[in-house]
Structure 1
Amino acid sequence: MAALAPVFRKAYWALIISVFLYITALIALTNPWLQRHVLYAHKVQMTWLQDINKPEQFGFAKNQITPFNFTTPDHETIYAWHVMPLGLYAKHESEILQQPSGFADDITQTKAFQLLRDDPDSRLIINFHGNAGTVAQGWRTDSYRALSDGSTSNIHILAIDYRGFGHSTGFPTEAGIITDGVAAVEWALQVVKIPSDRIVILGQSLGTAVTSAVVEHYAIKGVNFAGVVLVAGFTSLAELLPGYSIGGYLPVLSPLKSTPALLDLFSSQLVDKWPSAIRLANFVRLSKRVRLFLIHAKDDYEIPWSHAEGLFIAAANATTDEGMDLELLQKMKARNTVDMGDGSFISTWKSGNNKIIREQVVAYGHHSRVLTYATVSLAALKAFDLDDGGTLPV
């Protein structure tokens, strides 16, 4: 036993030091500047050795993607990609190859932009990515391919880097990123002149919070979109962090779960709240037409799929004037749920023919790879009424 004493002492002091470092880190994170650096991780990039102004490096056809900038109302410069559908590209390849490559100073002079603007059947997915990196990081480029390389040849993609990310100017805050998202939609509406009923707003992770805020903004103005797709979303930042681990390994506030007072104290220090469930409910309540898709993987190690349940309940409850008892709502949901095997399922909620909410939990896909799955592309096709009749199964 005496021989084990030094081992126990080392373990004891290692624990004490770990607790000290953890508490010190939490106190440091009450600083808004540092907190936002950790939350948005906008300086964490995996594309330093690649030129994102050359999308061919990521496997795209030459000039299939046009990098460009647009400006926000508060004078930030936002970097963006316009991804052309491969089928449409094939039809105009010879002309497109003759155009200058790389960053476009004036995107309106490109053939890709003109095909988007002038085709009365063109459709646009506005893509809001998660935290960290750029439009070209991780599974994001594969997701653009999955969305644009299908059988249709008229679905374009607009992907942006929020302020402070990649080549965009500024520093990220909740209000600022929402401004960026609204500015992206305004670019589509005012510059491209594409009507909102030919636009789908799609967000993943942090991008689901951006999407929820943006569609609420437009619902207040009476603007309806073809559809809204949220992949790996969360109900609010305060509800997410107690169970969230960075990369699935490094816990944030979960060690404080046993001490509710401390958990509440640190949660109250959040400078950006991202209350997506509230915003999504308001969007559903105010909109005349809703096609809302909530997609989550059961094996998501960063954001538990239970958040998709929370978003579904908030959205479904908003379709009724007085709200609904949770137990009754759950029973009604169960009657309209299809078991897909391996723990996956599809639940559909309909309020008349104008408001349809679909939650799909898939068995696999983790947090980001699920973006590349057929489930997400299918949701976009259904939102655009490009399925087998424009209706969703109940």
Structure 2
Amino acid sequence: MAALAPVFRKAYWALILGVSFYIAALTALANPWLQRHPEQFGFAKNQITPFNFTTPDHETIYAWHVMPLGLYAKHESEILQQPSGLADDITQTTAFRLLRDDPDSRLIINSDLPQNAGTVAQGWRTDSYRSLSDGSSSNIHILAIDYRGFGLSTGFPTEEGLITDGVAAVDWALQVAKVPSDRIVILGQSLGTAVTSAVAEHYAMKGINFAGVVLVAGFTSLAELLPGYSIAGYLPVLSPLKSTPAILELFSSKLVDKWPSASRIANFVRMSKRVRLFILHAKDDYEIPWTQSEGLFAAAANATTEGGMDLELLRKMKARTTVDTGDGTFISTWKAGENKIIRQEVVAYGHHSRVLTYATVSLAALKAFGLDEGGALPVSSLEVDAESDYNHLIL
């Protein structure tokens, strides 16, 4: 046991420092004044409408509806006349009416929950809203929420509870805002990719297809992530236990929340009639290694073939689809028939959260909505048909 003392000592101090950092982050990020004054983040007056909705288990979820700037410009005088701050009834606002009544409006449901402490106003999230919705002809609205237990929402976060919140956000869009699912993209970053994967699976079971699903800086499962995960890139969680596999396995087995994203995204692909799945990661992500996205891509691609395939065959097929974009980055596009397309892109820079503001994420949303120049995915030089390639390689 004496030999294990340094390992436990490192794990102990990592835990103490991590908890201290976590509490400090929560204190700052949950500041109500910051969240209730979106103009502090550079938005136009009343471009963001804060509001609440209620989940099926009676939690109150705080949300932002972010108007696209081009649309805001066309209706600025009317919007400026409306009260600022939390909307008592969002359905009575001009912004909501423009979302609901425009047959060309589109909605990105932002399921970000970065670093386990996400709020609508955290870090790069506000910058990402602008990059996704700005533009003179844009009609892309954003819905972002504080998950239960964070920011201005009630409750305590659990895996089941966060998924309930994500489903409730989509239900609000479908049932209250009346936005059809084929005009909705659900987007998640970091832990938000786990929520997004679960939400996508939930609606696939109901036969509901979205315009697209975007996963940024995701991971395959919590048990597979934690041995290599470091808080802010510096504070290891379980990596000090790598030298003692039995203890590491014991810790992993005690996880209450599992977040099996790889299996959930595979189920989503398998059950959906139409798939536009984008898996994005930065090579310099110091919190979640980009290789975690390899596992997500493999799970999703494997789900497009009946009975699946072994890993070596999948790697050969992927190699035929991969385009080297320099600096160790690449794009792989996997096509199964006409309706299932999976695109993985690894970019050189963006770290863990800043990548949300990069053109890669905005382009994924535009492609999902069919707003790229070609009007559809994928670019012919990047595509592979999984069925034809599978038959070719096994013969």
**TM norm. shorter chain > 0.5:** yes
Distance 1:292 1:271 in 2: 28
Instruction: Say whether 1:179 aligns with 2:164.
Output: yes
Tell me what 2:45 maps to. Answer: 62
Aligned partner of 1:276: which letter? S
d(CA) in 1 for partners of 2:21, 2:259: 15
In structure 1, runs of 5+ residues without a counterpart are 1-12, 29-33
Within the alignment, does 1:138 sit opposite 2:126 as a pair? Answer: no
RMSD: 2.3
- Are residue 384 (structure 1) and residue 372 (structure 2) matched? no
Q: What is residue 8 of structure 1 aligned with on the other side?
A: none
What residue is the counterpart of 1:51 in the other structure?
34
The 5 Å alignment of 1:280-319 reads 280-319=265-304
Report the AA paired with residue 227 of structure 1.
G
Distance 1:118 1:27, change over 3 A: closer
Deviations 1:151-197, CA, capped at 9 Å, x for gaps: 54210000001000000000000000000000000000000111100
Paired residues for 1:211-250 under 5 Å: 211-250=196-235
Q: Which of 110, 123, 141 is residue 93 of structure 2 equivalent to?
A: 110
CA distance in 2, matches of 1:259, 1:19: 9
> Once the 2 structures are TM-superposed, how far is the Cα of residue 45 of structure 1 from its aligned partner?
3.3
Aligned partner of 2:103 in structure 1 is 120
Aligned twin of 2:186: 201
Q: 1:97 to 1:128 in 2, by over 3 A?
A: same
Please tell me whether Structure 1 or Structure 2 has the larger radius of gyration of its CA atoms.
1
Q: Secondary structure of the residue that 2:91 maps to in structure 1?
A: helix
- The question of whether the paired residues in 1 share the 8 Å contact of 2:51 and 2:63 is answered with yes
- SS of the residue 2:62 aligns to: strand
Partner of residue 321, structure 1: 306
Q: 1:128 to 1:164 in 2, by over 3 A?
A: same
Farther off after superposition, 89-98 or 15-24:
15-24
Q: Which residue of 2 aligns with 1:101?
A: 84
CA distance in 2, matches of 1:338, 1:40: 43
Across the two proteins, how many residue pairs are aligned to each other? 375
Gaps of 5+ in 2: 384-395
String of CA shifts for 1:104-162, please: whole Å, max 9, x gaps.
Answer: 01000000000000000100000011221411111000000000003542100000010
Q: 1:42–1:166: 8 Å Cα contact kept in structure 2?
A: no
Matched residue SS, 2:26: coil
Query: What corresponds to 1:255 in structure 2?
Result: 240
Question: Is contact 1:40-1:172 (8 Å) kept?
Answer: no
SS at match of 1:57: helix
Determine the structure 1 residue equivalent to 2:317.
332
Superposed CA offset, 1:77-121 (max 9, x none): 000000000000000001101111111010000000000000001
Q: Which residue of 1 aligns with 2:353?
A: 368
Give the deviation of 1:54 after TM superposition: 1.3
Deviation of residue 324 (structure 1)? 1.0
Question: 2:7 touches 2:240 (CA, 8 Å); kept in 1?
Answer: no
- Whether the 8 Å contact between 1:42 and 1:165 is mirrored in structure 2 is no
1:259: Cα distance to partner?
A: 1.1
Instruction: Quickly say closer, same or farther: Cα 1:20–1:329, change in 2 above 3 A.
Output: closer
Q: Does 1:348 align with 2:333?
A: yes
Question: CA offsets, 1:214-242, max 9 Å, x none?
Answer: 00000001000000000000000000000
Write the distance in 1 (CA, Å) between the matches of 2:213 and 2:21. Answer: 28
Quote the Cα distance in structure 1 between the aligned partners of 2:24 and 2:255. Answer: 15
Letter in 2 for 1:105: D
d(CA) in 2 for partners of 1:20, 1:254:
11
TM, length-normalised to structure 1? 0.91
Call closer, same or farther: CA 1:117–1:41 in 2, change over 3 Å.
farther
SS in 2 for 1:88: helix
| Residues 52-78 of structure 1: per-residue CA shift (max 9 Å, x gap) | 111111100000000000000000000
Post-superposition Cα deviations, 1:293-314, rounded to whole Å, max 9, x if no partner, equal 0000000000000011000000
Q: Secondary structure at the match of 1:43?
A: helix
Instruction: Measure the CA separation in 1 of the matches of 2:206 and 2:124.
Output: 34
Residues 341 and 377, structure 2, Cα contact 8 Å, conserved in 1: no
Of the three residues 73, 85, 88, the one matched with 2:56 is 73
Aligned letter for 2:378? L
- Asked if structure 2 preserves the Cα contact closer than 8 Å seen for 1:216 and 1:279, the reply is yes
CA distance 1:329–1:53, change in 2 (3 Å)? same
